[in-house]
Amino acid sequence: MRPSRIVVLLAGTFSAIVFAANLWVLLSPPPLDDFLLRELQKQEQALMEERREENRREESKRCDCSKVLEEAEMKKVRELQRSGKEEKEEEAKKKAKEEDKEESASSSSSSSTTTEKSSDKGKKKSCQPTTKVAFAKTHKTGSSTVQNILLRFGAKHDLNFALPPNSWMFKLNVEFDADLVLEGPWKPLEFDIFAFHCLWNYEEVGKIIPRAKFITILREPLSLFESGYVYFGLQKVRGIDINGFAEKFAAKGEKRHKFAFIGQNNLLADLGMEAEQVDNMTAVKRTIKDVEEKFEVVLIMERFEESLVHLADAFCWPLEDVAYLKQNERLGELRTVPTDKTKEIMKVWLRGDYEVTYKAIS
């Protein structure tokens, strides 16, 4: 190849390279200066910080508004409470004034009545619950229900019971003696409640609980005897019901046996009379007098709920303390209905029990 052609080729190649380089320069974006780039970044950061500040200011305004609202609400509540309290105080003052007027009016109209009422109020204010109780537990009178009330009351107030040794009742074939309790395993204790069957002796029970208030419960004598006659098995042993017993035994004046669970004038026997004395009307009257003088409350089975209200009032007990469930109640179908003839016979045979019951009711 000739030198002239080589020169021409080289010149053409160089021209092409130069042209391509100029074209790339024209089409490419001009490079940013480092200083300019840093300035743009600063502006962006400043703008973002400004937006954050605006957001904080708006949030602060919202918080301030909520606090203002809360304070306003609390102020209203306090004002309402204050006004309500003032109204109540005003009403209380008016009520007190009205009561004072009524009291002054009633005292001027009847001074004696007011004196009685004020004395009653004084009693209620100074009333202290009775915690010393001795119960003469009689047979077939609802006495187990009363006993249950006394046991619950004693347990509630942590009182001490005079318990029979090794039984649920004291022996009924032995005269009751205070030493059965005082010399027993609970000798060091001070006793509060006596509530178990025994051959009743007022003086001996009084040794066990010296400051006790005495109570007992009575029942219509014929219904009592009929209940015991069935309960203690005499109806099965003798093979006759209460009507047959009245004609064959009571009409002939059958005497009470010593230490019997059931018999003539059972109430008087349970209240401490000796068996041979229960039909002696002079002795009966002495026993009735003792019951009147020594017993604080005498309950009547046929008026049981009224009796319990009276007991609660006399002993300063709340009514819930005399709430009860019936104990040892017999089913109705097991009862025998006495004839009119039986009623007449038994009124004579049970005269002593009728006397003490009628006296208690009156």
pLDDT tens, residue by residue, 100-136: 666 555 555 444 444 444 444 444 447 899 999 999 9
**Given this model, what pLDDT does residue 236 score?**
92
pLDDT tens, residue by residue, 267-320: 999 999 999 999 999 999 999 999 999 999 999 999 999 999 999 999 999 999
Note if the pTM is more than 0.85: no
pLDDT at 266 over 80: yes
Contacts of 131 (CB under 8 A, 6+ apart): 157, 159, 192
**Given this model, what pLDDT does residue 9 score?**
56
Give 299's strand partners: 217
CA distance 342 to 232: 20
Do residues 216 and 267 lie in contact, with contact meaning Cβ atoms separated by under 8 Å?
no
Tokens coding 79:
């004002």
241-252 average pLDDT score: 96
- CA 183 vs. chain centroid, Å, equals 36
User: Which residue's entry shows tokens 């609970």?
Assistant: 186
173 vs 90, more confident: 173
User: Which residue's entry shows tokens 């205070």?
Assistant: 178
**What DSSP string runs through 288-338?**
HHHHHHHEEEEEEGGGHHHHHHHHHHHHT--GGGG-----SPPPGGG--PP
CA distance 180 to 196: 13
**Given this model, what pLDDT does residue 17 score?**
65
